[in-house]
């Protein structure tokens, strides 16, 4: 039975665990890091790192997408971001990066420029011409209107992502042309679709039943997130991932073997966080703020996600990572090392390989069986 606590007479709440409240317990014979594989595969696409770069304009541009793929990961371009709103987003980015007092209202003004379907299709084609796997994120509210442009341009993976998503998003007045029914929408596509975020077992199971190839767990909580204050929503990631993994097991039985990948997104900043997310049941992690300090990142050492520019209810703030321009590490150092930084925030996947070896596992699927212990840090 799930652990519950009484918060008042007749009202119980379930206990949830964050990643920093659990730890790994090595219980098997160790092995050398050289025999460990961090590769994962979704549909026909194989990646050397279990990494999905978050669809933030601070992290993913057409040029960084190519570099992230070269290093072994998958980058997701925000289909409703600056690259789909401006012919040349350099000036808009400079307004964010160079303005010391850049505020939420500045972000709202910049993102008030309408998304251009023509620009979005062109960016998709440019990524495809670079010879990389093309992944584009759309919000549930705008998927019906914008997806034809990216699908026609040749996207390889479509990401439908919001703070919280359901199997059917209904727009204003329940208009038929304004509704997104994921089950019918995905059934008409011949490319894998990733959907999220979700926070619990039931929603994860519903989204798996739509035919999604992957489900994103969490809403991308980071140091500037205010979703817990603005909406009262928080996601204890260790519990949320484990719940989704339970939903996947039940869905495997229900379908006779259809496997849905889980991507953990939120409160993941170190190699240890990545390792714990995988052991809880994730197949890969989605990283945003953790990559924003890279020298190649278009945000220039600042981080913001799509919720920061919401025109009515912004749910995160612009974060200045405080990294001196001359000290910003390369994406290669952040992801693969080597590094002289002992914090765990660099050489993220080198750290993952090492802990997999110390726990005695040679693949990500095997590593999901590693033992966890509750440390109750909070």
Quickly list DSSP for 183-232: HHHHHT-SS-EEEEEE-SHHHHHHHHTTT-SEEEES----TTB-HHHHT-
Place of tokens 């600056």: 82
- DSSP character for 109? H
From residue 11, alpha-carbon distances to 5, 8, 15, 236 in Å are: 9, 5, 13, 20
Q: What is the CATH architecture assignment of 4-374?
A: Alpha-Beta Barrel (3.20)
370: exposed, middle or buried (Cβ count in 10 Å: 0-12, 13-18, 19+): buried
Distance CA 72, CA 27 (A): 29
Looking at residue 4, what is its pLDDT?
A: 87
Distance CA 218, CA 18 (A): 11
Reported confidence tier of residue 376, pLDDT bands at 50, 70, 90: confident
Question: Higher pLDDT residue, 334 or 1?
Answer: 334
Any idea where the domains of the chain sit in the sequence? 4-374
339: exposed, middle or buried (Cβ count in 10 Å: 0-12, 13-18, 19+): middle
Query: How remote is the C-alpha of 76 from its chain's centroid?
Result: 9
Tens-place pLDDT, residues 237-286: 999 999 999 999 999 999 999 999 999 999 999 999 999 999 999 999 99
Name 264's bridge partners.
217, 285
> Cβ distance 21 to 377 under 8 Å?
yes
Give mean pLDDT, residues 86-90: 96
- What count of Cα atoms within 13 Å lies in the side-chain half-sphere of residue 31? 15
Distance CA 230, CA 181 (A): 27
Cis peptide before 111 (omega within 30 of 0): no
Reported confidence tier of residue 99, pLDDT bands at 50, 70, 90: low
Of 137, 121, 278, 152, nearest to 197 by C-alpha is: 137
Q: What are phi and psi of 176, to 5 degrees?
A: -60, -35
Tens-place pLDDT, residues 125-145: 999 999 999 999 999 999 999
Least confident of 48-62, 156-170, 188-202: 156-170
Reported confidence tier of residue 167, pLDDT bands at 50, 70, 90: low
Question: Higher pLDDT residue, 334 or 377?
Answer: 334
The whole-chain average pLDDT of the chain stands at 92
Looking at residue 303, what is its pLDDT?
A: 96
Least confident of 11-20, 106-115, 177-186, 234-243: 177-186
Q: H or E stretch including 289?
A: none
Reported confidence tier of residue 313, pLDDT bands at 50, 70, 90: very high
Distance CA 16, CA 237 (A): 8
């Amino acid at each position: 039975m799930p652990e519950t606590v009484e918060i008042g007479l007749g009202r119980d709440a379930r206990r949830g665990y964050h990643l920093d409240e659990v730890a790994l317990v090595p219980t098997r014979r160790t092995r050398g890091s050289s025999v460990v594989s961090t590769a994962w595969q979704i549909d026909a696409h194989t990646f050397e790192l279990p990494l999905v770069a978050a669809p933030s304009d601070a992290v993913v541009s057409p040029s960084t997408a190519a570099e992230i793929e070269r290093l072994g990961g998958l980058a997701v371009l925000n289909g409703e971001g600056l690259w789909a709103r401006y012919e040349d987003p350099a000036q808009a980015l400079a307004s964010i990066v160079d303005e010391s007092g850049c505020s939420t209202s500045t972000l709202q003004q910049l993102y008030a420029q309408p998304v251009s379907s023509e620009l979005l299709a062109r960016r998709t084609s440019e990524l495809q011409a670079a010879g990389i796997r093309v992944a584009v994120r759309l919000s549930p509210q705008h998927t019906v209107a914008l997806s034809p442009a990216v699908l026609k341009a040749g996207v390889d993976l479509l990401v439908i992502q919001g703070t919280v998503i359901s199997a059917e998003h209904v727009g204003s007045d329940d208009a038929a042309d304004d509704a997104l029914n994921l089950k019918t929408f995905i059934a008409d596509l011949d490319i894998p679709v990733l959907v999220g975020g979700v926070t619990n077992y039931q929603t994860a199971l519903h989204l798996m039943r739509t035919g999604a190839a992957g489900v994103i767990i969490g809403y991308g909580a980071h140091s500037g997130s205010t979703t817990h204050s603005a909406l009262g929503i928080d996601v204890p990631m260790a519990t949320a991932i484990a719940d989704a993994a339970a939903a996947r097991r039940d869905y495997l039985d229900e379908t006779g073997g259809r496997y849905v990948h889980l991507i953990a997104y939120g409160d993941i900043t170190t190699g240890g966080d990545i390792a714990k997310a995988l052991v809880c049941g994730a197949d890969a992690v989605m990283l945003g703020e953790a990559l924003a300090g890279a020298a190649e990142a278009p945000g220039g050492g600042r981080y913001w996600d799509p919720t920061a520019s919401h025109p009515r209810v912004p749910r995160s703030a612009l974060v200045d990572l405080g990294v001196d321009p001359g000290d910003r590490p390369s994406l290669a150092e952040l992801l693969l090392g080597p590094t002289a930084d002992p914090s765990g925030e660099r050489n993220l996947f080198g750290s993952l390989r090492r802990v997999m070896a110390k726990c005695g596992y040679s693949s990500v699927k095997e590593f999901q069986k590693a033992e966890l212990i509750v440390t109750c840090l909070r």
